[in-house]
Structure 1
Amino acid sequence: MVFTVPRSPAKSKWPDWLTEAFQVLRPPEKLTVAEWADRYRVLDSKTSAEPGQWSTDRTPYLRGIMDAFTDPRIEEIIFLKPTQVGGTECLNNMLAYVVAQDPSPSMVMYPNKELAQFTSENRLQPMMDLSPELRQRFRPEASKDAELQFDGMYCVIVGANSPAQVSSRPIRYLFMDEVDKYPKSAGKEADPRSLAKERTKTFPFNKKIMQTSTPTVRTGPIWKAWESADVQLMFYVPCPHCGQFQTFNFKQVKFDKSQDVEVIRGAAHYECEHCKGIIRDAHKPAMLRAGQWRDKNGSTKLKRRTGFGLNAIYSPWIRFGDVAAEFMTSKSSPEELMNFVNSWLAECWENTQIKLNSDKVLEKQSGYEEGIVPDKTILLTGGVDVQKDRFYYTIRAWSEGMTSHNIRHGVLETWAQVEEVMNISYCTSDGDEYFVNLCAIDSGFNTDEVYDFCAKNSEWAVAVKGSSTPLPSKYKLSLIDRVDKGEYGLRLYNVDGGFFKDFISNRLVRKSDEIGGWFVYNGCDLDYAEQVTAEEKVIEKRGKNEVEVWRPKTSHADNHYLDTEVYAAFAADCLGIRYMRYEAPPEPMPEPEKKKTAQKSWIQGGETWT
């Protein structure tokens, strides 16, 4: 039976009480969370920078996360987020939807009781009062800060440090905000997240769990939840120039590090990773509206435990220049850099064992100018890192005790330039001439081109491939047969990158007068120094064991020069520099003096007559 309620009460033939009964019995509209919020959610002027009617078009990336809440396939949503992208309002919209569309017992958990009370008073209760759809269901006279009452449901507002509140009620909907700030245990009880999830067992088939947080460290709750999700989705946006989809990555935010921070704030732009087109802040809104949530393979399929990940570059309130400026002001302080990595890039901060910075490299200037070979050098080696459209290279001089000096590095554009740089002579201040003895070239990208080049220059060039896992030895030689090209026995070395990164870091911290030091030339540039120190050694848990591995400090960090130095160090080790000793060139022999002989005349029996 279908009841039709007249639009105008004045013309209704039904009594008021019956009309109200029909309103209660009428099923709610079939809306998604985003559709409901666009119609009925109102933002408070006290807590929002843009008060008034909610519009998902302002933050289009939240649409997919909110609508996943009504997807019957999904039981748990993990939102790995930075600050300033609307993550908390996304959670609030889901709670409001439950109140208006599907009343069921719910819980919202915050890091502590104080924050829970503050949020209840200043965000959640005002949200219920501002929206007519929520106000008519809210029962403020029966509510307390820690427990809001509605028609057909209650919502418990708890702090993760209060075990009694966490474990007291059965709930169908569980919302957990800023989970990385939760205590490890709730009093004498277990992990508060586990306690809260236990409360959902009463609803085994239709429960929903939403947890969101800015990450802290790799072992933090949100990062572990993100890594264990059945699918990890990132928000892909199309380039306004070529249309290719990509994620916003800080590595593609381009700016001149030598400029003033405020100049950087106004001048920075984004570079498309496909066409290299310049993307301005004005392009961002249209890109966000056309964006899609995808996994790394391009699939948009959602699963039972779905993870969503964003960084602050997506925020409509943040410019590309703001991100660049924040990095420049944070990079010199570990504490501030940690905040940038966590709160802006939404990445975990590593528990570092070895951490170097660019200042340490610049302190190692040797007193030699660029291109000058230091005295008592035994040999030169080179390293080349191959990229899509360029080559990074280094040339390093080696002397006794594996003391080494960078004499040249830079960026090249063609293979011909690589050949030229590695084959010209380099001289000492006295004019002694040296050539590169061996150059190791990365074959991880454009492999066939690298093999071709090394085959043609086999007397001084070898192909290498870095290993991300430890090898039984520092490097391992393989022979490649390219039957189609009639080439056999091409040398390929698998190099233990971790070993040679340890080698570089250990020598960087040596005193300047110690044998075995690692040096750069006078006036070494900052970009090189930052790339050489772009990684750090961290502890990771693998199974029951903890291992030390090298990882980039942040996802944006270029480490090309570090790779070139790893290859140059391998080349020196491969040639046996550990066992070589410097032999001074022999002193030139003095020319013998010529004896003067008197000439005899022909009268004396000589050969001349004059």
Structure 2
Amino acid sequence: MSDLAEVLNWRSPELSACLTRGLGTFGVPEPMTLDEWAAKHFYLSKESSYVEQAWEAWPFQRAIMACISNNDIREVDFMKSARVGYTKMLLAAIAYFIEHKRRNQALWQPTDGDSDEFVKTELETMLRDVKVMRKAFPSHMSRNKDNTLLQKKFLGCLLHTRGGKAARSYRRISVDNALLDELDAFDSDIEKEGDPITLAAKRVEGATFPKLVAGSTPGLKGFSLIEARFILADARFQFAIPCPDCGDFHALTWGGKDETHGFKWLDNDPDSVRHLCPHCGSMIDQGQYLAAAPAGRWQNEDASVTIDHAGVFRNASGAVISALRHIAFHVWTAYSPLVTWATLVREFINAHNKAQEGDITSLKTFTNTTLGRTWELDVEKTDSEQLKQRAEPYKLGSVPHGCVRLLAGADTQPNRIEIYVWGYGRGCEKWLIDFRICYGNPDQDEVWADVAEYLFETKFRHASGQELKIHGTAIDSGGHNTHAVYAFCAANAARRVFAVKGRSGKEKHIKDGATKVDIDWRGRIRKHGALLWQVGTNLAKDLIYGRLQITRPGPGYIHFSKELPDEFFKQMAGEIRAERITASGTESRWSAIRKRVEAWDCTVYAVWLETHFELAKKTAKWWDQLEEEVQPSMADLFAEPLSITEPAEPTRAVETQKITAPAKPAAPTQQRGASRFASDSWSNRGFKR
């Protein structure tokens, strides 16, 4: 009996662990929302967070997470600004559906590179630091087919991670959850097979509990994929807080100068910012908002449907109702406790001031990344007659007072090179100083000799009596003479001559990067090739258009001389911003409405130079020093007047003829250097017709 007792009382920890694991597959997990699961298990890794710590959801995040985990809700869209924690909520959702729900998932990023970066910096650090994930992912930190950049195999489920540019990335995948991050960065038509949302939705059609989650910072009005999703939702929600004074709920809004709600501040003092309640008119500061946020709720436009922190839907009377199948949230930076309201006001004031000078890029960025709203570009076309009417009586070839730096943009054509010289002053106020057309085939050395003579030897007389030379030049390398441009720019790099090429569509900056060019104009490999600079043409043209709307001389204003021919003004108004059908869908781009727009293009290259030399960032002290060098306090009392008598007709009829004539003109009679056109020998050279 003693032997039998010993057998009956036998205990084995190993056997107990095996039985627990085996029987665990038949168990039912404790009911838990994503918000509850994250509060218990989720962790912020040091590589991808401001502070390494356990997750603590902000008040506005809790309902979003609860809705993502609600089986009755099929589609959740999130139109957002930056700095509101969407990436962390998405990461927590992935972990929750792996460990708690054991559901197959697919996550698409805009490109393969974005996907790989997300896996390395976000996903893998989360799998390392969230302890509960170690049981769900035995292959963590091991090299095998179950742990790759494209797929990770967990206990009972799979996670696919893909870039979203290729249609094949959406094929042969059957999942329960389809997740898309930064939706507006995707192509609107994936290789002509459809938009990314439609392709991703096909992957969850057969699931028992299909789920599609998409989030993004919005882009351009009318072309934003996330805004289109936001509009299509059954209901659109904003986070509302109870007013400390009247108790009525209201969302945080930016408002406006004449609006009876939103942010208000005194003069230009960001620290005085308060939020105006639309119900009672009381003003609250950020501290009062943070205190009221835990009692907040999500509500639709008319507050007829609300969502509490637990994700419970209610009607206007407070009764619980069924969850909607497709919902959308909008949240912007003001809700984040990590950013002060005063900082947001400073960002806006800075962007607004730049917009007044014609630079709308900062205001666009503020609208997209701070307000979480689409940018609506109010651009149609420039009127050539209006530009002509604002022309001023100063001589071409002369430099007016206030203009202290000369930059040149050049455009190559099959039978000529056109050069436009722009003068810059404080605040990027600019003047069209001169133009020159050097006729001849750009593949021949003689025409480049004329270009070099004009760019490097011409001296322009300033109103102070000083003489200025062109400080820098940007030459378009597109067209049929690319290698000739490369050779000239490489040979004159020390004289600040740059080869440029326009890049429209997906550009991120006016100065949109550079690449080394290793082949010379005769096709031979060069050890030290020219540097080709990419120009964000849409952004540069937006900047020019914005400046043309400035009506008073000062920062950003553009001056024109009355000596300029009509053709110049027509070319400056020769493009409009319009929708175009591209391989990646419909996009808004600047498009030509006439054949010749060389003056407009050369102005774009001058703006690139302005950006390259960072003239907009120069300090007042820098401008003071340059102005003292160029136009000292004591001007030249014997300087010849530089204005022309009004009304004045263009005095250089030959030049007017040349800028308008598309074919080879008659040879000019002036000596070299006397005209802004080429030398007398230009007509003896061959050129393409």
TM-score, length-normalised on structure 2?
A: 0.48
Give the whole-Å Cα distance in 2 for the aligned partners of 1:223 and 1:511. 34
Change (3 A) 1:124 1:286: same
Give the whole-Å Cα distance in 1 for the aligned partners of 2:229 and 2:186. 14
Pick from 331, 338, 343: which aligns with 1:317?
Answer: 338
Pairing 1:254–2:255 present: no
Give the whole-Å Cα distance in 2 for the aligned partners of 1:11 and 1:325. 67
State the partner residue of 1:476: none
Counterpart amino acid of residue 326 in structure 2: R
State the partner residue of 1:137: 136
Pairing 1:206–2:216 present: no
Pairing 1:45–2:46 present: yes
SS at match of 1:132: coil
Counterpart amino acid of residue 38 in structure 2: A
State the partner residue of 1:400: none
Kept in 2: contact 1:327–1:337 (CA 8 A): yes
SS at match of 2:136: coil
Change (3 A) 1:238 1:355: farther
Matches within 5 A, 1:197-236: 197-203=201-207, 205-219=208-222, 220-236=224-240
Provide, for residues 491-522 of structure 1, a one-character-per-residue CA deviation record: whole Å limited to 9, x for no partner: xxxxxxxxxxxxxxxxx97989xxxxxxxxxx
Kept in 1: contact 2:188–2:225 (CA 8 A): no
Deviation for aligned residue 1:250: 1.1
Pairing 1:178–2:187 present: no
For structure 1, the 5+ residue unaligned runs are 1-8, 365-507, 513-537, 541-610
Pick from 319, 334, 337: which aligns with 2:360?
Answer: 334
SS at match of 1:25: coil
Matches within 5 A, 1:392-541: none
Give the whole-Å Cα distance in 1 for the aligned partners of 2:283 and 2:13. 62
Give the whole-Å Cα distance in 2 for the aligned partners of 1:34 and 1:62. 8
SS at match of 2:228: helix
Change (3 A) 1:351 1:265: closer
Pairing 1:146–2:150 present: yes
Deviation for aligned residue 1:184: 2.4
State the partner residue of 2:328: 307
Identity of aligned residues (%): 24
Matches within 5 A, 1:364-379: none
Matches within 5 A, 1:591-602: none
Change (3 A) 1:187 1:284: same
Give the whole-Å Cα distance in 2 for the aligned partners of 1:232 and 1:295. 5
Kept in 2: contact 1:41–1:53 (CA 8 A): yes
State the partner residue of 2:93: 94
Deviation for aligned residue 1:334: 1.0
Kept in 2: contact 1:179–1:213 (CA 8 A): yes
SS at match of 1:15: helix
Counterpart amino acid of residue 246 in structure 2: C
Give the whole-Å Cα distance in 2 for the aligned partners of 1:340 and 1:511. 24
Kept in 2: contact 1:351–1:539 (CA 8 A): no
Counterpart amino acid of residue 72 in structure 1: N
SS at match of 1:74: coil
Pairing 1:72–2:71 present: yes
Counterpart amino acid of residue 45 in structure 2: D
State the partner residue of 1:36: 37
Deviation for aligned residue 1:14: 5.7
State the partner residue of 2:650: none
SS at match of 2:205: coil
Provide, for residues 362-417 of structure 1, a one-character-per-residue CA deviation record: whole Å limited to 9, x for no partner: xx9xxxxxxxxxxxxxxxxxxxxxxxxxxxxxxxxxxxxxxxxxxxxxxxxxxxxx
Size of the alignment, in residue pairs? Answer: 353
Deviation for aligned residue 1:15: 2.9
Give the whole-Å Cα distance in 2 for the aligned partners of 1:183 and 1:355. 27
Kept in 2: contact 1:107–1:155 (CA 8 A): yes
Counterpart amino acid of residue 88 in structure 1: T
Kept in 2: contact 1:235–1:292 (CA 8 A): yes
Deviation for aligned residue 1:166: 2.0
Kept in 2: contact 1:218–1:224 (CA 8 A): no
SS at match of 2:102: coil
State the partner residue of 2:569: none
State the partner residue of 2:170: 166
Deviation for aligned residue 1:303: 1.2
Pairing 1:266–2:271 present: yes
SS at match of 2:160: strand
Kept in 2: contact 1:217–1:223 (CA 8 A): no
SS at match of 1:36: helix
Deviation for aligned residue 1:243: 1.5
Give the whole-Å Cα distance in 2 for the aligned partners of 1:286 and 1:113. 42
Give the whole-Å Cα distance in 2 for the aligned partners of 1:171 and 1:123. 21
Give the whole-Å Cα distance in 1 for the aligned partners of 2:209 and 2:110. 26
State the partner residue of 2:281: 276
Provide, for residues 89-127 of structure 1, a one-character-per-residue CA deviation record: whole Å limited to 9, x for no partner: 111111111011111211011110001001101101111
TM-score, length-normalised on structure 1?
A: 0.54
Give the whole-Å Cα distance in 1 for the aligned partners of 2:70 and 2:324. 10
State the partner residue of 1:387: none
Pairing 1:187–2:191 present: yes
Counterpart amino acid of residue 87 in structure 1: Y
Provide, for residues 27-55 of structure 1, a one-character-per-residue CA deviation record: whole Å limited to 9, x for no partner: 22210000000000011011111321101
Provide, for residues 232-277 of structure 1, a one-character-per-residue CA deviation record: whole Å limited to 9, x for no partner: 11111111222221010112211134x3xxxx33332222223332
Deviation for aligned residue 1:354: 5.5
Change (3 A) 1:321 1:201: same
Kept in 2: contact 1:235–1:293 (CA 8 A): yes
Pairing 1:245–2:271 present: no
SS at match of 2:239: strand
SS at match of 2:132: helix
Change (3 A) 1:86 1:240: same
Give the whole-Å Cα distance in 1 for the aligned partners of 2:254 and 2:186. 28
Counterpart amino acid of residue 93 in structure 2: M
State the partner residue of 2:568: none
Give the whole-Å Cα distance in 2 for the aligned partners of 1:134 and 1:28. 15
Change (3 A) 1:10 1:46: farther
Matches within 5 A, 1:566-581: none
Counterpart amino acid of residue 264 in structure 2: K
State the partner residue of 1:21: 22
Deviation for aligned residue 1:186: 2.9
> C-alpha root-mean-square deviation of aligned residues, in Å?
3.0
Counterpart amino acid of residue 291 in structure 1: G
Give the whole-Å Cα distance in 1 for the aligned partners of 2:69 and 2:550. 59
Provide, for residues 518-569 of structure 1, a one-character-per-residue CA deviation record: whole Å limited to 9, x for no partner: xxxxxxxxxxxxxxxxxxxx999xxxxxxxxxxxxxxxxxxxxxxxxxxxxx
Kept in 2: contact 1:113–1:162 (CA 8 A): no
For structure 2, the 5+ residue unaligned runs are 1-9, 256-261, 307-312, 314-322, 391-547, 553-576, 580-689
Specify the structure having the higher radius of gyration (Cα): 1
Kept in 2: contact 1:161–1:185 (CA 8 A): no
Kept in 2: contact 1:352–1:539 (CA 8 A): no
Provide, for residues 414-436 of structure 1, a one-character-per-residue CA deviation record: whole Å limited to 9, x for no partner: xxxxxxxxxxxxxxxxxxxxxxx
Kept in 1: contact 2:34–2:68 (CA 8 A): yes
Give the whole-Å Cα distance in 1 for the aligned partners of 2:381 and 2:249. 34
Deviation for aligned residue 1:128: 1.3
